[in-house]
Chains A and B, each alone.
Chain A
Amino acid sequence: MVALSPLPAPSPALGMSWNGGDELLLQRLLPYVDFVETTPDTIARKQHGRAVIPDETLDELRRIATTKTLLVHGVGLSIGSHDGWCEDYLSLLDQLFATVDVAWHSEHLGYTRVDGAMLGTMLVLPRAAEALDLLCRRIDAIQERYAVPFLVENVVDLLPPHPESRYSQARFLNELTRRTGCGLLLDVYNLQCDAQNQRLDLDAFFDELDFRPVREVHIANGVEHDGVRLDVHSRRTDETARHLADIVLRRAANVEVIVYEFLPQAIRPIGHDALTEELALLHARFCA
Chain B
Amino acid sequence: MSVDLAELQRGVAALIRGAAPPTPDPWLEEVATSPRLGLVQYIITSWREMLLRRSAPLTTTLLDDANRLADSFARIATRPESPFTEDLACAFLADFVDDEDPLVAEVARFEMRMIDAAHAPRQSGV
Closest beta carbon of chain B to A71's beta carbon, Å: 22
Find chain B residues with CB under 8 A from A83 CB: 6
Known contacts A118-B80, A159-B12, A160-B36; is-contact A230 B5 (Cβ 8 Å)? no
Find chain B residues with CB under 8 A from A226 CB: 35, 39
- The answer, yes or no, to whether B43 is at the interface (CB within 8 Å) is yes
What's the Cα separation between A126 and B8 when bound, in Å? 9
Chain B positions near chain A (C-beta within 8 angstroms): 1-2, 4-6, 8-10, 12-13, 16, 26-27, 30-31, 34-37, 39-40, 42-44, 47-48, 50, 54, 80-84, 86-87, 119-122
- A51 touches which of B12, B31, B84, B121 (Cβ 8 Å): B84
What's the Cα separation between A123 and B36 when bound, in Å? 12
- A47 touches which of B1, B37, B119 (Cβ 8 Å): B119
- The answer, yes or no, to whether A30 is at the interface (CB within 8 Å) is no
- The answer, yes or no, to whether A239 is at the interface (CB within 8 Å) is no
What's the Cα separation between A121 and B47 when bound, in Å? 9
Closest beta carbon of chain B to A171's beta carbon, Å: 18
Apart from A159-B31, A162-B1, A228-B36, what 5 extra A-B contacts exist at CB < 8 Å? A51-B83, A118-B81, A126-B5, A159-B40, A164-B1
- The answer, yes or no, to whether A134 is at the interface (CB within 8 Å) is yes
**Listed stretches A7-15, A109-117, A172-180, A181-189; interface member:** A109-117
What's the Cα separation between A77 and B98 when bound, in Å? 37
Residue of B26, B36, B54 with highest tally of chain A CB at under 10 A: B36
Find chain A residues with CB under 8 A from B2 CB: 164
B4 to chain A: closest residue by CB: A130
What's the Cα separation between A162 and B80 when bound, in Å? 26
- B81 touches which of A48, A81, A111, A119 (Cβ 8 Å): A119
Which residues of chain A from 193 to 213 have a CB within 8 Å of any chain B CB? Answer: none
Which residues of chain A from 102 to 151 have a CB within 8 Å of any chain B CB? Answer: 111, 114-115, 117-121, 123, 125-126, 128, 130-131, 134
What's the Cα separation between A123 and B47 when bound, in Å? 15
Find chain A residues with CB under 8 A from B122 CB: 54-55
Find chain A residues with CB under 8 A from B4 CB: 82, 130
What's the Cα separation between A41 and B81 when bound, in Å? 14
Find chain A residues with CB under 8 A from B39 CB: 158, 225-226, 228
